[in-house]
Structure 1
Amino acid sequence: MLRFKNLFFIILGAGIFSFGLNYLIMPNHLYEGGATGITLIIYYLFKIQPWIMNIVINIPLFLLGWRILGRKMLYYSLLGTFSVTIWLAIFEHLPFAINLQDDLILVSVLGGILMGLGLGIIFKAGGTTGGSDIIARIGHKYTSFSIGRIILSVDILVLALTVIVSKDLRSVLYTLIMVAIASRVIDFISEGGYGSKGIMIVSQKSQELAQAIDSEIEHGVTFIKAQGFYSKTDINMIYSVIYKSQLQEMKDLIHRIDPHAFITITDAHEVLGEGFTLDRNKQPLKK
């Protein structure tokens, strides 16, 4: 079930994200990556409101994700997506204007801050806004590519499509400024800005935790033999490296299985190897 605190922050983050989208990005004809970028292209071409297309685009993705990934992983994504949709529908009927005198640099900066702040809050609470996040999780499940690489690839494809359809390179370049700023803000909000986190867990339920991390978080787990100083009890300490966007999901999983587990979380400044940079289909050379 959803925690009330997480629910509140996902709705709050969706409101901030939608505010920036409705009052800064759309009036100044800027774009976005992922599913949001597609909704903006359709809006500029056919005047169909983004909140409508957000649902239309995400429904088949949710059905596909529900079938492939399981419903547990989609609860927060559903909340984030529908929150964005509702906020956009509300803002559409609220007359409000931010007068920046057509200065697209200021629009890009402020838009990047607001959208990055909103998405950062959503990610920190364990949610997503659907779209490319679901595509990335499905792609990661069946290929050797990381979630981050797949999301980046989708964003690049959408922005390339934007250039082809709109033929407005100027707006796309300002969009890139906005996306870069939003990315930095997301990093700042989401636990300090590092791409990955190292997790060490001391628990009497190490086997159960390891199986849950492998099946639900989908990252490797290493057992480190350890011994309690006072109890002299031998235990398997768990070590795993995850993406920062999965941190809240990991915390919730650990708390669900063993609320008394001892956890340390460190910043992983660079991660090399299987699941991050190594093609899992490549095998070591035999001598």
Structure 2
Amino acid sequence: MQLKKICLILLGAGLFAFGLNYLVMPNHLYEGGVTGINLIIYYLFGIQPWVMNIVINIPLFILGWRILGHRTLIYSLIGTFAVTLWLILFEKLPLQVNLEGDLLIVSMLSGIFVGVGLGIIFKAGGTTGGADILARIGHRYSQFSIGKIILAIDLLVLTLTVLVSQNLRTVLYTLLMVTIASRVIDFISDGGYGSKGVMIISEKSEELATAIDAEIERGITFIKAQGFYSRRDIHMVYSVIYKSQLQEMKDLIHRIDPHAFITILDAHEVLGEGFTLDSNKNPIPKD
């Protein structure tokens, strides 16, 4: 485990928690995923989000640890507990961010703080748990992609938001905040592109392909290639991954073959199985 990554996750968690505690919560805005559920419970029953963050995430981590393995979840575990500790700290530090009820500015600032915080966490290879763990488990036992499951969870939470708040104005400002946060996350974590194509030239292509399939759960293609000087035939490994999996992919490659040659491509649009098609459906009709 690298100290630099842990420090980045702690920094990102602090920025995320700051935006949540001093901007989102005082102005009754919402969020997606498990954080959105925590906020709904806070507005309804007054239970602090850091309490529910532990109550909801600990069972998910235990389940994910057993199903997905510890290597996949270790940085997510750090991110989740870092957010919890920052929320506890900020709760005891009264700070008034006086924006005179201007929800437009609040939404924009909230989106920036939340987006920068999560973007740094993703860049370091961590997450804040919750929906990410559920999506990984759901993907393993169903035909749905990780992106589709996360989207479904967010839509469910936002639907609950509409029912709980019954205030279209608040919901619309929340959507503005989430949109800004999403763009900031993309910009910080991978320069603004949602997916990445990774091409790997290595003497350990078989071992890399097996590890990518088992640990990152993305499709792999072998491309026949030949070295210009050596004239040796090799299998180049090609895989398209989600933005949040890029650091995990780099770490996996470095662990298996530190001398591997890696090219990372910006995938502006990805269509097909695993992204826009269900994995058990054949897009080509059979006679």
Q: Distance in 2 between matches of 1:199 and 1:11?
A: 28
Residue 242 (1) aligns with residue 227 (2): no
- Which position in structure 2 is the counterpart of 1:148? 147
Q: Distance in 2 between matches of 1:83 and 1:63?
A: 17
Write the mapping of 1:131-280 to structure 2, written as runs, cut at 5 A: 131-280=130-279
Once the two structures are TM-superposed, the CA of residue 229 in structure 1 deviates from its matched residue by 1.4
Equivalent AA in structure 2 for residue 270 of structure 1 = E
Q: Distance in 1 between matches of 2:167 and 2:59?
A: 30
Q: Distance in 2 between matches of 1:129 and 1:3?
A: 18
Q: How many residues align?
A: 286
Q: Mark the runs of 5 or more structure 1 residues left unpaired by the alignment.
A: none
- Which position in structure 2 is the counterpart of 1:65? 64
- Name the TM-score, length of structure 1 as normaliser: 0.97
Equivalent AA in structure 2 for residue 107 of structure 1 = V
Q: Greater CA deviation, 184-193 or 163-172?
A: 163-172
SS in 2 for 1:190: helix
Equivalent AA in structure 2 for residue 129 of structure 1 = T
Query: What's the % identity of the aligned pairs?
Result: 74
SS in 2 for 1:272: coil
Q: Distance in 2 between matches of 1:166 and 1:271?
A: 36
Q: Distance in 2 between matches of 1:59 and 1:144?
A: 26
Cα offsets for 1:219-259 (capped at 9, x unmatched):
11111111111122221111111111100000000000010
Residue 123 (1) aligns with residue 122 (2): yes
- Which position in structure 2 is the counterpart of 1:286? 286
Cα offsets for 1:133-154 (capped at 9, x unmatched):
1111111112222212211111
- Which position in structure 2 is the counterpart of 1:23? 22
- Name the TM-score, length of structure 2 as normaliser: 0.97
Q: Mark the runs of 5 or more structure 2 residues left unpaired by the alignment.
A: none
Cα offsets for 1:73-132 (capped at 9, x unmatched):
110110010000000000001121111111000000000001000000001111000111
Once the two structures are TM-superposed, the CA of residue 204 in structure 1 deviates from its matched residue by 0.7
